[in-house]
Structure 1
Amino acid sequence: MELLLLFFLLSVGISFICSVLESVLLSINMSYVAVLEKERPSVGKLLRLQKENINKSIASILILNTIANTLGAAAVGAQASEVFGNDAVVVVSVVLTFAILFLSEIIPKTIGAIYWKQLAPLAAYFIRIFIWMTYPIILTTLAVTNKISKGKDDAHTLTKEELLESMLMSEDEGVIDEKESDVIENMLNLDNIKVSEVLTPRSVVFALDENMSVKEVIAKEDAIFK
């Protein structure tokens, strides 16, 4: 009975960790990595390496996850047969299937997607260990995945449209204010604007006394800043 519980917990536990790591890794963006490199250089560089070699990182996680699920299911089934008899194998297999579905897939991937910033530094070290453990198998899988991803280096490049949408979402979420958002949006749209569209008509141009302070200008010409 003890071995049955042990194999069950190991299978679900290892799969749980793998699912969290996979979700965290896929949620991390390169702008976060750039910031982390300044705050925590060693972790930031490690994460950058793992993101730039994401085929290797994902392969290590999926290899361990598959091994845990496959061997775990076999071990749990064998122990269930020994402890409860052959009739119990089906019941135990169903329980294990739902446990893996909820405890090792849905819940951990949700956690990873929501708390990826908090988990990213720790995940980097776990992924490095996973890569070391599975490196011989990774070399085999990379021979296939590298052919699939060949010529797709720009797949994760952020386009101007995506950057604009990201900036607008940041404004909606309160990360940046409206004026900052407008400045960034206008800068990104400069190549679509003609000089004639931004010229100020001579009739509305006015001059300020060069001896006036900024405070005086604000007080006298407050309409400028509205």
Structure 2
Amino acid sequence: MQSLSIGAQFAALAFLLVLSAMSSMTETVMMASNRYRLRSLASAGHRGAQRAIDLLSRTDRLLGVILLFNNLVNVAAATLASVITINLFGEESWALAAGTVLLTFFILVFSEITPKVIGAHYADRLALFVSYPLTFLLRVSYPAVWFVNLFVSAILKLLRLELHGENKPSSLSVEELRSMVLESGQYIAQKNRDMLVNLFDLEHITVEDVMIPRGMIESIDLRQPTDEIRKQIATSYHTRLPVLEGDNERVVGVLHLRRVASRALESGFEVEDVREMVAKPYFIPADTHVYTQLQFFQENRQRMALVVDEYGELLGLVTVDDIIEEIIGKFTTSQPEAHAKLDWNTDGSALVDGGQNLRELNRRLDLDFPLDGPKTLNGLILEHLEDIPEADLSVRINGIAIEVVQAEDKMVRLARIFRPEASAESSGIDG
């Protein structure tokens, strides 16, 4: 070392700092790279991605080879800096201290922070290239890395922190997948992103959340006159209708209108004909998860089910279309949709039906009504007030102002919702 000129020693020190910078950047690149993107490239035949995946499958070896060379380079740089300081200023303590401080500054700025910031920003690109030299270095230094890792493994076992399954790909929870979809940005179109998020949400939604409430079900009542039943069959927009009978509205079955429509126009058509043509009703409990129910529909070749509570009382009706709409959103049908025009008016309010589903309100109007209790706006207002409201009563729930416009038959028939930013400026509304 003494035979080298001062210029050569400075050049060697600069070279060591560059090697230290490359080592630091490599460590950050490998740890910050997107493993799922690397697996995708590897499956497509990219050799660099395959090497990176192989290295990441054993983090102990990967970190071992990186840190081994990084520390060797840093120690060599510190030794060389001391030699240069002694050659220039002698063995003065102030000179050695100043040299140490200056070298620490250069290592932090040029060999640690700057390369690691670069590596973190371009991790996915650089991982494909740095995997080649890393693989070579690991092969060359494998005995030293293996020997060092013996002590590392012993310490981990002593601390009961032994890691298992390093060769297995890390798994993602549903919430992590959901977050990845939400943060996908430009890679997935907004509509497709919404559909994927809705799929994840199906695990937390029950049929009670998406069903048509009992009061909104169109059904055939066998107690009605034959002419009324015939007219209903001829004019209904649905293909299947539940058939009820008795004061307690007992479900007799489900009538497929296409099978009975032509017969209903005949003069000899009677109520008993309806009773004979109904199919056996398909009942499901209200707490059945939507995703599970979709599978049941497929397995049982059903398209409609009647939702009942724990006492067997009819709560509502759910169809395959209702579940599909939870995934892809509302789509156009031949049925007049009462809620199709659900939107904010120019004055920042929206007039909605009391039986409107809260999930639909949250989705269409971008609101934040609680969904862990009642499923409809009427139920939410009744639960909040703990009383049957009258018209012109106003209430605020979750910061959203609601005015009862029409109350009838012990329920809210019509309500006006104010946009949160608009309702915040309103006065005289409390709850």
Give the TM-score, by structure 1 length.
0.80
Report the residue type matching 1:195 in the other structure: V
Residue identity in the other structure for 1:8: L
Cα distance in 2, alignment partners of residues 57 and 113 from structure 1: 17
1:49 and 2:49 matched? no
More helix by share: 1
Q: Read off the aligned partner of 2:144 and give its amino acid letter.
A: I
Q: Which residue pairs with 2:183 in the alignment?
A: 169
Question: Following TM superposition, by how much is the alpha carbon of 1:189 offset from its aligned partner in structure 2, in angstroms?
Answer: 2.6
Aligned mate of 2:113, from 106, 111, 114: 106
Residue in 2 aligned with 1:136? 143
| Cα distance in structure 1, aligned partners of 2:77 and 2:42 | 38
| 1:141-199 residue CA offsets vs partner (Å, 9 max, x unmatched) | 322444535345489432222221222122xx333233222221222232222234334
Deviation of residue 82 (structure 1)? 1.9
Could you tell me how far 1:124 is from its partner in structure 2?
Answer: 0.6
The CA distance in 1 between the partners of 2:37 and 2:183, in whole Å, is 16
Counterpart amino acid of 2:85?
A: A
| Count of matched residue pairs | 214
**Aligned residue in 2 for 1:186:** 198
* Contact 2:55-2:62 within 8 A present in 1 as well: yes
Cα offset, 1:205, TM superposition: 6.5
Structure 2 SS opposite 1:174: helix
CA–CA distance in 2 between the matches of 1:134 and 1:8?
Answer: 23
More off after superposition, 133-142 vs 66-75: 133-142
Structure having greater relative contact order (Cα 8 Å, sep ≥ 6)? 1
Matched letter for residue 191 of structure 2:
K
Query: Do 2:17 and 2:107's aligned partners in 1 also have CA atoms closer than 8 Å?
Result: yes
The DSSP-based 3-state class of the residue aligned with 1:21 is: helix
Show the counterpart of 1:11.
Answer: 16
Q: Which residue of 1 aligns with 2:313?
A: none
Q: Which has the larger radius of gyration?
A: 2
Structure 2 CA distance, aligned partners of 1:122 and 1:146?
29
C-alpha contact (below 8 Å) 1:19/1:108 kept by paired residues = yes
Gaps of 5+ in 1: 208-216
**Alignment counterpart, residue 61 of structure 1, candidates 61, 66, 82:** 66
Deviation at 1:117, TM superposition (A): 1.9
Q: Which amino acid aligns with 1:158?
A: L
Q: 1:158 is matched with which residue: 145, 168, 172?
A: 172
Please give the per-residue CA displacement for 1:51-97, whole angstroms capped at 9, x wherever unaligned: 11111111110110001111210122113212332233332222211
Cα deviation code 1:22-50 (max 9, x no counterpart): 01001112211122114443222211111
Give the letter aligned to residue 182 of structure 1.
D
Asked if the contact 2:24/2:112 (under 8 Å) is kept, the reply is: yes
| CA RMSD of superposed structures (Å) | 3.0
Residues 28 and 116 in structure 2, CA contact (< 8 A), matched pair in contact too: yes
Native 8 Å contact 1:60 1:138 kept in 2: yes
**Residues in 1 aligned to 2:37 and 2:152: alpha-carbon distance in whole angstroms:** 26
Q: Distance in 1 between matches of 2:88 and 2:70?
A: 26
SS at 1:98's partner residue?
helix
SS at match of 2:17: helix
Unaligned runs of 5+ in 2: 1-5, 219-235, 240-330, 341-363, 365-431
The answer to whether the 8 Å contact 2:34/2:124 transfers is no
Change (3 A) 1:175 1:206: farther
Give TM-score scaled by structure 2 length: 0.45
What is the distance in 2 between the residues matched to 1:200 and 1:145? Answer: 61
Q: Structure 1 residues 186, 205: CA separation in 2 closer, same or farther (over 3 Å shift)?
A: farther
> Does the CA-based 8 Å contact 1:4-1:80 persist in structure 2?
no
Point out the structure with the larger strand share: 2
